[in-house]
Amino acid sequence: MSNRRFESKPLAVPSSRLSRLSRLGGLASAIAGNVAADAARKFARGERPRLEDLLLTPANARKLADELARMRGAAMKVGQLISMDAGDMLPPELAEILSRLRAEAHHMPWVQLRRVLTAAWGADWRQQFADFDTHPIAAASIGQVHRARTHDGRDLAIKVQYPGVRASIDSDVDNVATLIRIAGLVPKSVDIAPMLAEAKRQLHEEADYECEGRRLAEFGALLADRPEFRAPALHPDLTQKNVLAMDYVESSPIDDLVSAPQAERDRVMTLLIGLLFRELFEFRLMQTDPNFANYRYAPETGQIVLLDFGATRAFPEDFVALYRRLLGAGMARDRDGLRDAARQIGFLAPDAPAGLERAMLDLFDLSIEPLRQDAPFDFGASDLALRLRDGGMALAAHRDAFVIPPMDTLFLQRKFGGIYLLATRLQARVALRELIALHL
């Protein structure tokens, strides 16, 4: 975290289930009003518009993004997931609007923050601190972060959960899913029930800051042999279910490295991609949220600071073995082996249409291409992202037959995609073959 002041406007979080439901109801009414008005205009011109064209408009996407950002909590988190998982199926302008949910958040006003901290630490909580900055240094979907210093000299980052988040998770997910269906943001043929159930499970875990604290400490231990990384130390005496206390580490956003020398950008991304493979194949434990804000850079030491372990996921040993087979077959250009592993993992149903199977295997083959080359892969100069997008559009042509793969694969693919985007942002050159060979 740097000294630059976090800029956002204070906005109270709707904390009761009724108030959250009423906001979503108001949003549904606003979208319906937009649809009716647009339909009337088109009919007046003699046009016969399709409902999905009336629903999928930038105005409706903007209303959805603005309201979910105001609500925060599970509602905003589901919007983030949809913007990442369904973004390729949406028109570019809608995907861009929804992507704002991954970067923007308001923060609680002081009166609401004080109420949360008093409930957690008691009425005299200020006496524990020599200094507590009431303006947050960061804000996200589940909580916001404040800097504080205790009387015994500990420099801390305190993550405070928004009120009502935990109690409203299930209803938020259900209500937002209904709204997203109404708005036509996900194809009707796609069964999102497994994704919603997993979203609830994951969000309940993310909202338990004591659980996140244990994961933070666990990663600190796993990376004790790698001084290039730093996970802030946990302070259990100040940590509760809705308040997480950890070391404050002076650092800057990881994507500030865009102006760093090429060698440093290459080093940082080599470390992060190497960590990704270790998380999957060695730890079988992965921080699956690819938000750039979860990676920071400490200029004085060159360390990569790792944050936000609420979305940590453990992978079963048999799943990791299948993924090793998938990548090994892809590296060897073994199409039959690739198909077999993809079916066993759940990417492909046994009765998948030939066109869908071919498009899926072509996409896998394309994504594994950088791992095969002996020379470092140049993320900045490659057109692979465009070709992957085209491959994704080929999949969308078969979306009526598409099934959502197991949740483990979705979380893993999201992490892969986030790391790829970061490497592209930094225009890094990484010897990927050497990194993956250690694990295959």
Catalytic residues: 289
Contacts of 173 (CB under 8 A, 6+ apart): 74, 78, 196, 199, 200, 203
278 DSSP assignment: I
**Alpha-carbon torsion angle 168, 192, 337, 355, nearest 10:** -160
Distance CA 73, CA 141 (A): 5
290 DSSP assignment: -
- Give phi and psi for 268, each to the nearest 5: -65, -45
- Give phi and psi for 378, each to the nearest 5: -95, 100
**Which amino acid is residue 192, in one-letter code?**
I
Distance CA 213, CA 206 (A): 10
Chain centroid, CA 173 distance in Å: 16
Concatenated DSSP letters of 295-335: EEEETTTTEEEE---TTEEE--HHHHHHHHHHHHHHHTT-H
Distance CA 112, CA 201 (A): 27
Distance CA 221, CA 112 (A): 35
10 Å CB burial of residue 227 (0-12, 13-18, 19+) is exposed
- Count of beta carbons in the 10 Å neighbourhood of residue 326: 22
Distance CA 228, CA 284 (A): 20
Distances in Å between the Cα of 370 and the Cα atoms of 378, 434, 436 are: 9, 11, 11
- Give phi and psi for 155, each to the nearest 5: -95, 115
Distance CA 365, CA 412 (A): 17
Alpha helices in 373-402 (DSSP H): 384-396
- Count of beta carbons in the 10 Å neighbourhood of residue 180: 18
Structural tokens at position 231: 């996970």
Structural tokens at position 298: 């400490």
